[in-house]
Amino acid sequence: MTERPSDKNAAISALIENTEKVIVGKRKSIELVITAMLTGGHVLIEDVPGVGKTRLVSSIARSCGGSFGRIQMTPDIMPSDITGFTMINTSGTGEFRKGAAFCNFLLADEINRASPKSQSALLEIMEEGQVSLDGEIYPLPKPFMVLATQNPVETYGTYHLPEAQMDRFVMKISMGYPDKNDELAILAKNESSLSPKSLEPVISCEDIMSLMEKARLVRCSENISRYIIELVNATRQAEHIKLGVSPRGSIALYNTAKAYALISGRAYVIPDDVKFLAPYVLSHRIILTPKGRSLCGSPEGAVNMLLSQVPVPVE
């Protein structure tokens, strides 16, 4: 029997509605994080302090039935705090002590305040889903997702993330300030003291793994696949872009488009899925030339410019 879109999205709808009990007016941000979750990817949320980055991540993680870990990425954080370490116990043998990464959802709060050495400790974790230490491999639980927050790099006391690590994030999003009505609702919710810790799980890890499999089965036509390739290739050919998008970016846009189609209740990808997701999936993977910064203003502006230039397929 064929499954209807409404049936497929029951768990996703429950997750969104539960998160919105705490997070007001940010449905798009919630859907983007869930989209990344369904691809097995990681998300970087960059915005000014106080707009709810940590609250959003905590709310989604606590709405899922998996384990939740949080590490505050301060300058004195050591790589072993993230990955774990081996210590000699009383019997004289080595004993592995797990770090913060051994959970389903790892919140790396203010990641760009940590030293580059500690930031690089996340690379294998994010890419391989495992920790290698002293010749041993320790697999992480499934599903596993890093949800990192960072303040803009102009903020005092921050470090730039290396390009290799930025490329490991399937998307980078920005929440932005709430509008006046949403901020009034935030004040009202503040009176009720509703926090992420008060949320009960509405889906399990098994549900998430099942949804990830359903997202992989969403159909993406050859025309749309070629559209993704043309768009990515345009970032490599543009004179105002110094560093274009790698094949990892092509795969990320392909997979997120399928996951977003599932969230939207469809079993197939449409061009609008790609156009909507491209700025979030591609912009943090490119570096502009000085002329590009003058012309486009930002990597997001460059991606939007390319979206207006690359022909959209007609299904």
Q: What is the pLDDT of residue 131?
A: 87
Is the domain defined by 5-204 classed in CATH 3.40.50.620? no
Q: What's the helix, strand, coil split of the chain in %, to 5?
A: 50, 15, 35
Q: What is the pLDDT of residue 157?
A: 59
Q: What is the pLDDT of residue 3?
A: 39
Q: What is the pLDDT of residue 73?
A: 86
Residue 192 has pLDDT above 80, yes or no: no
**In the structure encoding, which two tokens stand for residue 108, read together?**
């790396």
Q: What is the pLDDT of residue 31?
A: 92
Query: Using one digit for the tens of pLDDT, what is the confidence trace for 88-106?
Result: 777 777 778 888 889 888 8
Alpha carbon 301 to its chain centroid, in Å, reads: 20
**In the structure encoding, which two tokens stand for residue 6, read together?**
């409404």
Q: What is the pLDDT of residue 7?
A: 45
Mean pLDDT calculated for residue range 151-179 = 76
User: What average pLDDT does the structure give for the chain?
Assistant: 85
CA atoms within 13 A on the CB side of 201: 13
Give the right CATH number for 218-309 from 1.10.8.80, 1.10.287.3510, 1.10.10.10, 3.40.50.300.
1.10.8.80
Segments making up each domain of the chain, as ranges:
5-204, 218-309
Distance linking the first and last C-alpha atoms of the chain: 27
What is the Cα–Cα distance from 305 to 282, expressed in whole angstroms?
A: 13
Residue 209 has pLDDT above 50, yes or no: yes
Query: Using one digit for the tens of pLDDT, what is the confidence trace for 229-275?
Result: 999 999 999 888 998 999 999 999 999 999 999 999 999 999 999 99
Query: Which runs of E-coded beta strand occur in 89-129?
Result: 94-98, 105-109
| Beta carbons within 10 angstroms of residue 117's beta carbon | 10
Torsion over CA: 8, 42, 111, 244 (sign): negative
Q: Give the model's confidence band at 216: pLDDT under 50 very low, under 70 low, under 90 confident, else very high.
A: very high
Could you tell me what percent of the chain has a pLDDT over 90? 33
Mean pLDDT calculated for residue range 126-140 = 84
Q: What is the pLDDT of residue 37?
A: 93
Residue 197 has pLDDT above 80, yes or no: no
Query: Using one digit for the tens of pLDDT, what is the confidence trace for 28-73?
Result: 889 999 999 999 999 998 877 776 777 888 888 888 888 888 888 8
Q: At what angle do helices 205-216 and 27-38 cross, to 10 degrees?
A: 80
Residue pointed to by tokens 């051994």: 102
Q: Residues 48, 149: contact at Cβ < 8 Å?
A: no
Residue 284 has pLDDT above 50, yes or no: yes
Q: What is the pLDDT of residue 6?
A: 43
Q: Give the model's confidence band at 193: pLDDT under 50 very low, under 70 low, under 90 confident, else very high.
A: low
Q: What is the pLDDT of residue 155?
A: 55
Q: What is the pLDDT of residue 66?
A: 80
Q: What is the pLDDT of residue 5?
A: 40
